């Protein structure tokens, strides 16, 4: 069975890049650029893993992760933060919000796929 990955990133270029890496790795991906539509998309698509950018308008990835992890309906879905914010304090803060993994931009296809395979 093909695993499904939800990608949330406000950059269309990043979405397409991540989708191409995931496709090469044998995953099915759904990309959205509006972080306010995460829950709606989860309900429709039932992803196995969520890749979440941190720096986004309206709702940043830290907020979205914290909110997802606080709701029983979504808390079991692994969340990987994929971001250029990769200082030790950013990593710590991501863990505090409930993130299950962290991939720093720029990343290689192998780094991204390894993180997804570990949690899918």
Instruction: Please give the residue range of the domain that contains residue 102.
Output: 4-119
Is 104's pLDDT higher than 90?
yes
Q: How confident is the model at residue 116 (pLDDT cuts 50, 70, 90)?
A: very high
Is 87's pLDDT higher than 90?
no
User: Tens digit of pLDDT for each residue in 22-48?
Assistant: 999 999 999 999 999 999 999 999 999
Return the biggest CA–CA distance within the chain.
37
Please give the structure tokens belonging to residue 86: 């990769």
Q: In Å, what is the CA distance from 10 to each residue of 61, 76, 119?
A: 11, 24, 23
Q: In Å, what is the CA distance from 73 to each residue of 9, 39, 67?
A: 22, 10, 11
Is 86's pLDDT higher than 90?
no
Which pTM value belongs to this model? 0.95
Q: What is the H or E stretch that residue 104 is in? A: strand 101-104
CATH number at residue 20: 3.40.50.2300
Q: How many domains does the chain have?
A: 1
Mean pLDDT of the chain: 95
């Amino acid at each position: 069975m093909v695993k499904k990955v939800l990608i949330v990133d406000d950059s269309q270029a990043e979405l397409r890049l991540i989708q191409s890496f995931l496709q090469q790795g044998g995953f099915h991906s759904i990309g959205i650029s509006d972080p306010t539509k995460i829950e709606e998309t989860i309900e429709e698509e039932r992803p196995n893993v969520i890749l979440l950018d941190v720096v986004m308008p309206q709702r940043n990835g830290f907020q979205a992760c914290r909110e997802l992890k606080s709701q029983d309906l979504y808390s079991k879905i692994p969340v990987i933060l994929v971001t250029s914010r990769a200082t030790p304090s950013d990593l710590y803060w991501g863990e505090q919000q409930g993130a299950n993994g962290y991939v720093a931009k720029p990343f290689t296809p192998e780094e991204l796929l390894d993180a997804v395979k570990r949690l899918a």
